[in-house]
Amino acid sequence: MSRAVLVDLTRCIGCRACQVACKAWNDNPGELTLCLGCYDNPPDLSADTWTMIQFNEVEFADRLQWVFVKRQCMHCEHPGCVSACPVGALRKLENGAVFYDEKRCIGCRYCMMACPFRVPKFEWDTAVPLIRKCSFCVDRLDQGLQPACVKACPTDALTLGDREELIAEAYRRFHARPGKYWGEIYGEREIGGTSWMYISPVPFSELGFPDLETWPVTDWSEIATLATPGVMVGAVALLSGTYLLTKYHRQQQSEESSTPAEKEE
């Protein structure tokens, strides 16, 4: 069964309990950061910070309000990072997680370029750098436990469950409190859907969420993969034809420039 998490931003109080729990469970060290003009700490995801709370001061519907957003890997249904990885270091699991196998990684960083959410981070300061990102706590999921961040949330802003059931739950909340929510589920359809989905009191564009199409980003890589053999065959045929044609013209020019005596011999 594919697991997912529904993030209700109307319930998040910005306490960062999820952030602390993530670091504790994964043995990730703290970071020395410098915050300039913001409350985000650290200011972005990194190789040592796999989830963080983003503080947003939003003016919407004649109201100024704080909206706190939990950021982490979205664990896409059709992950671009998996499609882009040439060695199979990333793969989508049946439980919903996008799993990273560091033993296979060659450090090409294609996953970083393929991710529309800029999630995978590189260990720039190590001798043998690897990619780091949220693992969806697959070790906990395999034991029937909640991810560490979900377990730590004191306000039930994070709900783990079956993806389709969580979508139905989100719409139930919309109907029960129509004035409380924006009325859309971010991640329900974006790039084919994600395993982490959000509901919010304000438009997602106000919170920095990327405006994405509904088709999976993997469609492009699949098209490229299917087209590659034909392109390669065509390129080889074109180059071979060009070579033979050039060789023929050179032979013709050589025969035309030779003397009559040379031709008789």
Residue 223 has pLDDT above 60, yes or no: no
Q: Which helix (H) or strand (E) holds 17?
A: helix 17-26
Fold entry, domain 3-78+130-216: Alpha-Beta Plaits (3.30.70)
Mean pLDDT of the chain: 89
| Confidence band, pLDDT 50/70/90 cuts, at residue 252 | confident
Please give the structure tokens belonging to residue 73: 């890997």
Scanning the structure block, which residue is given the tokens 């961040």? 149
C-alpha–C-alpha distance, residues 227 and 223, integer Å: 6
User: How far from 143 is each of 42, 139, 146, 147, CA to CA, in Å?
Assistant: 30, 7, 9, 10
Which residues are CB-contacts of 96 (< 8 A; sequence separation ≥ 6)? 2, 3, 4, 75, 136, 163, 195
Residue 230 has pLDDT above 70, yes or no: no
Q: What is the pLDDT of residues 151-196, one digit of tens each?
A: 999 999 999 999 999 999 999 999 999 899 999 999 999 999 999 9
Residue 224 has pLDDT above 50, yes or no: no
| Confidence band, pLDDT 50/70/90 cuts, at residue 148 | very high
Rounded to 5 degrees, φ, ψ at 248 are -65, -45
The model's pTM is 0.82
Residue 139 has pLDDT above 50, yes or no: yes
CB atoms < 10 A from the CB of 213, how many?
12
What residues pair up with 52 in beta bridges, in sequence order?
Answer: 71
Q: What is the pLDDT of residues 6-16, one digit of tens each?
A: 999 999 999 99
Residue 48 has pLDDT above 80, yes or no: yes
Please give the structure tokens belonging to residue 162: 């079956």
Could you tell me if 97 and 4 are in contact, meaning their C-beta atoms sit under 8 angstroms apart?
Answer: no
Mean pLDDT along residues 220-225: 52
